[in-house]
């Protein structure tokens, strides 16, 4: 290639000046993920040969959490059988029917088939809900910490307002907290089990949200106002622990169905983030618009993945067995971390954590602001604390500010994710963490 004649070399800064003037307002205002900056710092440390427990990634390492073996066989079968062309724009009829059955089994809800559409993971459902239901400048409300919603303000040119949740509620929202801000909102976004807190919304609170939707929309209809929608992100729906059960608000308050959009898929419940298959379940009048938008974006899930997912969702014994095993492996990691932090706390060190409830996360607190490091630096904010824990203990976590929390409200809270670590990574890391905490003044 180097020797090819007349090769036209394109420099990496080509067009940068023109783009500065030429990018749309949306593109200019859109910010990249702050978690990626942390990821680079971790990569640098690993390249230098330092040991790091990487608790920053909201993904699964396939070494720790491979997809179910049977599912992998189904994928191979689908490719080998030649399912490699465009899927139907709403998804294959077989997978849509399998998702409909999945909703009947898991939520006791029988949605019309036109309410179910298949997309490439969780994100297209979230993005589409913003685009289809909220006009530029209108308000979207969500509790914080929350995953990614604060970024949609720029991407979709809407107003976003994150409402700070409380530690005593395990950082889960309540109607009482959101209602005072909801009068002008067009959409509320809830996520349970939740990223980043690892909390699961209690049945009572979800029921109250369903009732609030019904009551507020009755008022709006009389007043001739646009409805209030609820985007309900349940991408971690199968990953709940102990007595923390997952519910759809529609199964608790069926009358709120006209206003609820479910986002779900295989990414987290089946550790299949890279396969890109999710489903949007909502009133058909909205789902049809999602399907139309998808035809312009090309956000279909790959056909072989759809074919395999339909078979997998119907293999109930395999799902039951896999779920138990998966929860067990996630739990042993989260428990190791939680118990380790609680032990350090009981020894008088300035840390805390909330008992695991669901998903692959734990909320961990390091109340170290004002402490002095061995090199004499004073830790002033959560980012200083994050950096100290990373550099001194190889303990890599993400500050709540990356999830829309005002840095003034962070109070030393971080997300720790266990999808990419082994139990022994954690066991090895805890003594390092203890030492780093002890070395602070």
Which positions touch ligand PLP (CB under 6 A)? Answer: 58, 121-123, 147, 191, 195, 233, 235, 265, 267, 273, 278
Min CB(146)–ligand PLP separation in Å = 8
Q: Is the dihedral of CA 357, 362, 363, 364 positive or negative?
A: positive
- What is the DSSP annotation of 14-32? TTHHHHHHHS-HHHHH---
Q: How far is 373 from 62, CA to CA, in rounded Å?
A: 36
The total of other beta-carbon atoms located within 10 Å of residue 228's CB is 21
Min CB(234)–ligand PLP separation in Å = 9
Min CB(211)–ligand PLP separation in Å = 24
Q: Closer CB to ligand PLP, residue 125 or residue 373?
A: 125
Q: Closer CB to ligand PLP, residue 205 or residue 216?
A: 205
Q: Closer CB to ligand PLP, residue 340 or residue 404?
A: 404
164 bridge partner residues: 144
Q: Closer CB to ligand PLP, residue 195 or residue 363?
A: 195
Q: Closer CB to ligand PLP, residue 340 or residue 356?
A: 356
Min CB(236)–ligand PLP separation in Å = 7
Min CB(170)–ligand PLP separation in Å = 16
54 bridge partner residues: 396
Q: How far is 373 from 366, CA to CA, in rounded Å?
A: 14
160: closest CA among 190, 124, 188? 188
Q: Closer CB to ligand PLP, residue 98 or residue 433?
A: 98
Q: How far is 237 from 245, CA to CA, in rounded Å?
A: 9
Q: Is the distance from CB of 403 to CB of 144 less than 8 angstroms? A: yes
Min CB(4)–ligand PLP separation in Å = 39
* DSSP secondary structure code for residue 120 in this structure: S
Min CB(434)–ligand PLP separation in Å = 30
Q: Closer CB to ligand PLP, residue 131 or residue 273?
A: 273
Distances in Å between the Cα of 82 and the Cα atoms of 77, 85, 277, 307 are 9, 8, 18, 11
> Is residue 229 classed exposed, middle or buried when 0-12, 13-18 and 19+ CB atoms within 10 A define those classes?
buried
């Amino acid at each position: 290639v180097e020797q090819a004649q007349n090769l036209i070399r394109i420099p990496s800064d080509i067009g940068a000046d023109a783009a500065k003037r030429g990018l749309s307002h949306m593109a200019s205002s859109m910010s990249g993920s702050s978690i990626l900056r942390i990821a680079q710092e971790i990569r640098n440390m690993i390249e230098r040969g330092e040991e790091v427990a990487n608790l920053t990634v909201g993904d699964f390492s396939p070494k720790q959490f491979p997809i179910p073996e049977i599912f992998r066989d189904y994928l191979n079968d689908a490719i080998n059988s030649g399912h490699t062309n465009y899927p139907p724009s709403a998804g294959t009829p077989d997978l849509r029917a399998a998702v409909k059955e999945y909703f009947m089994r898991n939520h006791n809800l029988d949605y019309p088939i036109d309410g179910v559409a298949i997309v490439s993971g969780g994100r297209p459902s979230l993005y589409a809900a913003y685009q289809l239901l909220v006009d530029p400048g209108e308000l979207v409300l969500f509790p914080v910490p929350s995953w990614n919603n604060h970024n949609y303000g720029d991407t979709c040119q809407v107003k976003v307002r994150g409402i700070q949740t409380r530690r005593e509620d395990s950082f889960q929202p309540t109607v009482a907290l959101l209602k005072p801000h909801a009068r002008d909102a067009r959409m509320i976004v809830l996520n349970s089990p939740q990223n980043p807190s690892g909390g699961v919304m209690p049945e009572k609170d979800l029921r109250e949200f369903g009732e609030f939707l019904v009551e507020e929309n009755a008022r709006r209809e009389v007043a001739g106002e646009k409805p209030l929608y609820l985007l309900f992100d349940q991408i971690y729906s199968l990953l709940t622990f102990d007595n923390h059960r997952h519910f759809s608000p529609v199964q608790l308050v069926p009358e709120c169905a006209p206003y609820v959009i479910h986002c779900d898929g295989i990414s987290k419940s089946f550790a299949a983030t890279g396969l890109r298959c999710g489903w949007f379940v909502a009133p058909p009048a909205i789902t049809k618009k999602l399907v139309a938008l998808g035809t312009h974006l090309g956000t279909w899930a790959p056909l072989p993945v759809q074919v395999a997912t339909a078979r997998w969702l119907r293999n109930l014994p395999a799902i039951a067995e896999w779920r138990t095993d998966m929860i067990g492996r996630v739990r042993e990691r989260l428990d190791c971390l939680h118990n380790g932090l609680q032990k350090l706390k009981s020894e008088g060190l300035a840390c805390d954590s909330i008992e695991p409830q669901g998903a692959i996360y734990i909320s961990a607190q390091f109340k170290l602001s004002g402490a002095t490091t061995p090199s004499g630096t004073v830790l002033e904010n959560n980012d200083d604390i994050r950096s100290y824990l990373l550099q001194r203990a190889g303990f890599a976590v993400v500050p709540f500010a990356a999830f829309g929390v005002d840095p003034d409200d962070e109070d030393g809270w971080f997300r720790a994710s266990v999808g990419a670590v082994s139990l022994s990574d954690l066991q090895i890391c805890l003594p390092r963490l203890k030492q780093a905490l002890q070395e602070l003044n």
